[in-house]
Amino acid sequence: MADAQECEVAIAALASRLAGPGDQRAHGLDRSVSAHVTDLSRTFRGHLHDGVLDDITSSDGADDAGAEIRLVLTSDDLVALAAGGLSLGSAWLSGRVKVHASFADLLRLRSII
């Protein structure tokens, strides 16, 4: 099990990947995003816009039902997703990661991460 600090590093790594040089996959997407880490009971929130994930905060507690894109996963899966060792599509299909989003956002998110 990864700890809260490792999850914060993983969130920062995901944010950096989204803002990669010349990467246009997330441009035009403007959504509130949350990732609820179930084994730590911690929720990370941010704002995804113009290929950048920023305004990242974290708090103890429940999933952010108000976010437009919500991920629910374990700390180990978050770290693996950020490191590129876990595909969002296969993790979602296997039930390891739950994604609450519109179908269009889901497809777009799958191509980004």
pLDDT (average), residues 8-36: 75
Give the model confidence (pLDDT) of 31-81 as tens digits. Answer: 898 999 999 999 999 888 877 788 889 888 777 778 898 989 999 999 999
- Tell me which of 25 and 66 has the higher pLDDT: 66
Q: Is 19 helix (H, G, I), strand (E, B) or coil?
A: coil
pLDDT (average), residues 98-103: 87
* Model confidence, pTM: 0.83
How high does pLDDT run on average in the chain?
A: 83
Distance CA 9, CA 106 (A): 23
**Domain 4-112 indexed as CATH 2.170.190.11:** no
Distance CA 88, CA 98 (A): 10
Domain residue spans in the chain?
A: 4-112
Res 29 pLDDT > 80 = no
CA distances (Å), 110 to each of 2, 6, 99, in order? 23, 23, 10
Residues 32, 68 contacting (CB under 8 angstroms): yes
